[in-house]
Amino acid sequence: MTADELQSLVEEATADFAGGDSDAALAKLARATDAAPDCFEAWHALAEVNFSLRRLDEALAAAGKAHALQPQDLFINTTLSRIWMERGDKARAEHYGAQARIQGWKEQLKNPGEQPSH
């Protein structure tokens, strides 16, 4: 699968989920992560879809894969914070929330004229 095909598959899955077809979204994201286990975007999307479906174990597993690929990403740290909060682990939620804030501050320092996008 080419990078463009992979990106299209993740975008299609996101559109499926937004349109209410969770099963199609999950199937496409499974194909994407099977084809490219190092695709951060696919793992992050899989985490978000599962989180939205309240499938917290699956969300945490996918978020963990995404985080392993890009531990400094603001959005995956935010996702992990939300998952851990929902699971009732405030300490872990706060840890990832702090990591997200740090990444946000780093972005602000790199681009002082821009507003944070989260």
Tens-place pLDDT, residues 69-98: 999 999 999 999 999 999 999 999 999 999
Alpha helices, DSSP H only, in 36-89?
Answer: 40-52, 56-69, 74-87
Q: Is 50 exposed, middle or buried (0-12, 13-18, 19+ CB in 10 A)?
A: buried
Neighbours of 68 (CB within 10 A): 12
Q: What is the mean pLDDT of residues 9-35?
A: 97
Mean pLDDT of the residues in the chain = 93
- Domain annotation for the chain: domains and CATH numbers: 3-110 (1.25.40.10)
Distance CA 96, CA 59 (A): 15
CB burial class (10 A; 0-12, 13-18, 19+) of residue 23? exposed
Specify the pTM.
0.86
